[in-house]
Amino acid sequence: MLKGINYKRKNQLLLAVIALAIVVIYNLSITKTIEKYKEYTGLKDKIKTVSVAPKAIDLLRDKIADINRFFGKSSDNSISKRAQLIDYTSEYCKSSSLSLRLISEPVYQYKDKILIETNTLILQGSFINMIKFISSTEKHQNIGKISSLSFYKEKNIRTKKEKLLLQIFIQNIINNTDEKNT
């Protein structure tokens, strides 16, 4: 069969058969191998992701706790924020020369799924002690965040002396789902 074909033609035919064999082999086995390798690397990446997931979940929980502490939101519902605020303020006033003139009832505002509780305090005393109280309150994250404050003077008509007063608004953010009927 190949006797009538010259040497050059035999080489061309051999190259064509080799090329055809390479294409057939590639289509039958190498493409499947490449697909399986891609699948393997994808699964390997998923395994890495799954193995890191518990650490990532812990980090996210820590971030959520930090954010909750920053905004004055607490997961401890056994002690109310108002009671903590009253205890903290009264203890601070005892240790300094401040007097607590007023703690008004909290004001509640609902927005979407959150409840914002605003407590108002009025303190009387020296300017320096009031500044120290403000600084200490901002650092004490369990009682809420100071949203506003105002210094003003009040004149006592009987004694004709002026007293320095500080009005502070402290806010807490509470989830509506965590809220008890208030």
For residue 171, the Cα-to-chain-centroid distance in whole angstroms is 18
Question: pLDDT for 41-93, tens place per residue?
Answer: 999 998 888 888 888 888 888 888 777 666 655 545 435 778 888 888 888 88
* Opening angle at CA 176, ends 173 and 181, nearest 5: 105
Q: Which residues contact 48 (CB under 8 A, 6 or more apart)?
A: none
Q: Output the pLDDT for position 21.
A: 92
Question: pLDDT for 127-145, tens place per residue?
Answer: 999 999 999 888 876 778 8
In this structure, whether the domain defined by 81-175 belongs to CATH 3.30.70.60 is answered with yes
- The dihedral built from the CA positions of residue 125, 99, 122 and 77, taken in this order, carries a sign that is positive
Question: pLDDT for 88-114, tens place per residue?
Answer: 888 888 888 899 898 888 888 888 777
How far apart, in whole angstroms, are the C-alpha atoms of residue 64 and residue 86? 26
The CB density around residue 37, as the number of other CB atoms within 10 Å, is: 10
How far apart, in whole angstroms, are the C-alpha atoms of residue 104 and residue 85? 12
The domains of the chain are located at: 1-70, 81-175
pTM (2 decimals)?
0.54
